[in-house]
Amino acid sequence: MVTQERKLVTEIPGPRSAELLARRKAAVPQGVGTVLPVFVERAEGAVLVDVDGNQLIDMGSGIAVVSVGHHAPEVVDRAAAQLDRFTHTCFMVTPYAGYVEVAEALNRLTPGDHEKRSCLFSAGAEAVENAVKIARRHTGRDSVVVFDHAYHGRTNLTMAMTAKNAPYKDGFGPFASDVYRAPMSYPFRDPDGMTGEEAATRALAVIESQVGAERTACVVIEPIQGEGGFVDPAPGFLPALVEWCREHGVVLVADEIQTGFGRTGDMFASDHEGVVPDIVTTAKALAGGLPLAGVTGRAEIMDAVTPGGLGGTYGGNPVACAAALGAIEIIERDDLAARARSIGDVLLPGLRSLQAAHPRIGDVRGRGAMVAIELVEPGTVTPDPVEAGRISAACHAAGVVTLTCGTWGNVVRLLPPLTIDDDLLADALGVLADAIESR
Ligand SMILES: *Cc1c(COP(=O)(O)O)cnc(C)c1O
């Protein structure tokens, strides 16, 4: 039983973590980054316990994965019971019920009440790749439209779809072709007063002139961008894109890998404006920490692929499926979307009052428990990644795990487990405030 409190007994990282860090450096390539080199021994709820006995508040949830909290009994018990029965058969060889039950849950929970199908994979990037395969097969078209600041993964196709060069793409080309990039609605950086509809018109003009609807298989968009900086498009942007896609037979893919399962205060971020995507990709919070990803879409689109065209050895692993059923049970039963909204009701006003006193906080944004501050040179929109790094490092030293993001690395983002209690959340916000003020 890990008490839900922050407690430091050594400096961060402590001596045992430092020892492991030296071994890590000798054994693991530097290309696999480290945000905060404390080595974790166990975790429960919103608290990580490191090998030196420090207790840190996890405001990153392993990048929006453990939304139901670390070591949630429903996840652990179901996964353990499945481990005891069998670990693998390959769903394409001899199927099992857990996969079907997760598919049914995804079909029920994702936006829209049309007939749907879901297939399962192991990682988010794989889900995005398969969504593109399905959209191409269904439409008979090749082109994929993505947006500025987009992040869709690290495989070859998803690198091409991801916007940011270093560190994701630099030196890793050549990239997949037929990927086109349109301007995103980015209220903090767009011309003053630009509406979502106007931003959509700007994006669609680029798509129509550089690609053409008749060549476009799919438009892939994160309803709130994740790695790209928690960019929350102006209201009206997503609905206008969806309408254009419908009109032209283009498949609208909502990449909800980071935003899904209650994170933004709705079950899916698309729900916020009542947007019904043709395909939704999921992963991260889906299975409470086990590797599982999903592609859910309209039955007629999903069934365009002939038998054998989709799959993978491990996709929809039975242990991961069992964990997902546990995670989904918690998310629905405890209404974690509502809990995300109340987390936002603490974080957003807290950060806005800090912004009033600190001109380097150019923007406070996000929804629910997906919240960020964008750091800039005072009075400008010039990115200040040094300040974002400084704030994040100060949080780490005080025992709060925060992540940065954004095209310029100048955004500090908060993604706590949705089950975090009020005291711990207040403590984490206080640490962040001290970090901002310690400049
Ligand atoms: C994390 C992420 C991915 C990639 O998922 P992996 O499991 O790391 O492959 C794709 N899209 C979005 C929006 C993500 O946040």
257 C-alpha to center of ligand 1: Å?
6
Residues 324 and 352 in one domain: no
pLDDT of residue 192: 96
Residue 189 lies in a domain: yes
Q: Is the pLDDT score of 14 beyond 90? A: yes
Residue 1 lies in a domain: no
347 C-alpha to center of ligand 1: Å?
24
Where does a domain end: 308, 333, 358? Answer: 333
Residues sharing a CB contact under 8 Å with residue 337, sequence separation 6 or more, in sequence order: 262, 265, 266, 267, 331, 368
pLDDT of residue 21: 98
The residue segments making up the domain with residue 291 are: 74-333
Q: Kindly give the number of the ligand 1 atom that is closest to the alpha carbon of 123.
A: 7
Q: To the nearest whole number, what is the mean pLDDT of the chain?
A: 98
Instruction: Report d(CA 48, CA 42) in Å as an integer.
Output: 6
Q: Phi and psi (nearest 5°) for 430?
A: -65, -40
163 CB within 6 A, ligand 1: no
Average pLDDT value for residue range 117-121? 98
Task: Write the CA distances from 179 to 141, 154, 162, 279, 414, integer angstroms.
Answer: 12, 15, 10, 18, 30
Where does a domain end: 333, 361, 385? Answer: 333
Residue 4 lies in a domain: no
Average pLDDT value for residue range 72-76? 98
Q: Is the pLDDT score of 368 beyond 90? A: yes
Which of 159, 124, 64 shows the shortest CA–CA distance to 372?
A: 64
Q: What CATH number should be reported for the domain holding residue 183?
A: 3.40.640.10
Q: What CATH number should be reported for the domain holding residue 57?
A: 3.90.1150.10
158 C-alpha to center of ligand 1: Å?
9
Average pLDDT value for residue range 99-126? 98
pTM (predicted TM-score): 0.98
Residue 141 lies in a domain: yes
Residues 62 and 190 in one domain: no
Instruction: Count CB neighbours of 259 within 10 A.
Output: 29
259 CB within 6 A, ligand 1: no
What percent of the chain stands above pLDDT 70? Answer: 100
Residue 125 lies in a domain: yes
Task: Write the CA distances from 214 to 5, 237, 397, integer angstroms.
Answer: 56, 21, 53
Residue 9 lies in a domain: no
Average pLDDT value for residue range 264-273? 98
153 C-alpha to center of ligand 1: Å?
5
Q: For the chain, what is the domain count?
A: 2
pLDDT of residue 304: 98
Residues 96 and 149 in one domain: yes
pLDDT of residue 439: 87
125 CB within 6 A, ligand 1: yes
Average pLDDT value for residue range 273-283? 98
pLDDT digits (tens, 9 = 90+) for 19-58: 999 999 999 999 999 999 999 999 999 999 999 999 999 9
pLDDT digits (tens, 9 = 90+) for 225-262: 999 999 999 999 999 999 999 999 999 999 999 999 99
Average pLDDT value for residue range 210-232? 98
Where does a domain end: 276, 301, 333? Answer: 333
Residue 32 lies in a domain: yes
Residue 8 has which token pair?
Answer: 């430091």
Residue 182 lies in a domain: yes
